[in-house]
């Protein structure tokens, strides 16, 4: 269970870094990639909640 939480934290951190880089440079693709990491982390968390 700890590895799942660590994986989620890493995904969110990468998402934050990508969004920050996209804002700093003024480009949309890194921002969209960061949002994609947030979506992946959310979906991964939801699927792991459903499993026993």
Token pair of 36 as six digits = 């994609």
| Digit-coded pLDDT (tens) for 1-52 | 688 889 999 999 999 999 999 999 999 999 999 999 999 999 998 887 766 6
Taking phi over 0 as left and psi of -120 to 50 as alpha, with beta for the rest, 37 belongs to alpha
For residues 33 and 15, what is the distance between their CA atoms, to the nearest angstrom?
A: 7
Model-level pTM? 0.83
């Amino acid at each position: 269970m700890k590895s799942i939480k660590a994986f989620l934290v890493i995904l969110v951190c990468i998402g934050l870094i990508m969004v920050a880089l996209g804002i700093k440079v003024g480009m949309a693709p890194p921002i969209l990639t960061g949002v994609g990491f947030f979506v992946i982390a959310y979906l991964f968390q939801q699927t792991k909640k459903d499993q026993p």
